[in-house]
């Protein structure tokens, strides 16, 4: 890699790049009707299983479930707070 390429990368318009990425992913999501996210998740899970065949362990699953329960409680609490207004 040469210095000019590095300078060009550092100087690029980050906001424009972010907007182009959002537009790309929004278009892809519309075209696949949301399946692209599911496919990406499945690919990540398959990769994780190749790297660590024992994943997820029972302990991992228990921790994940506990986090889901905690999030559900927070969402329920927020819903009640908004409903009380």
Residues 15 and 42 in one domain: yes
Classify residue 34 as left (phi > 0), alpha (psi -120 to 50) or beta.
Answer: left
Residues 2 and 26 in one domain: yes
Residues 27 and 66 in one domain: no
Residues 63 and 45 in one domain: no
SS3 (DSSP) at 75: helix
Residues 41 and 30 in one domain: yes
Contact partners, residue 28, CB within 8 Å, separation at least 6: 36
pLDDT of residue 60: 96
| Residue spans of the chain under pLDDT 50 | none
pLDDT of residue 29: 87
Q: How many domains does the chain have?
A: 2
Q: Which residue has the tokens 């398959």?
A: 46
Residue 78: give the domain boundaries.
56-85
The pTM for the full model equals: 0.51
Q: Are 36 and 28 in contact (CB under 8 A)?
A: yes
């Amino acid at each position: 890699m040469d210095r000019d390429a590095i300078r060009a990368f550092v100087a690029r318009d980050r906001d424009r790049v972010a907007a182009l990425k959002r537009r790309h992913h929004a278009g892809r999501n519309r075209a696949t009707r949301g399946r692209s996210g599911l496919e990406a998740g499945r690919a990540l899970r398959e990769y994780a299983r190749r790297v660590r065949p024992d994943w997820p362990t029972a302990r991992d699953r228990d921790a994940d479930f506990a986090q889901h329960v905690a999030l559900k409680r927070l969402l329920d609490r927020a819903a009640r707070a908004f409903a009380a207004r």
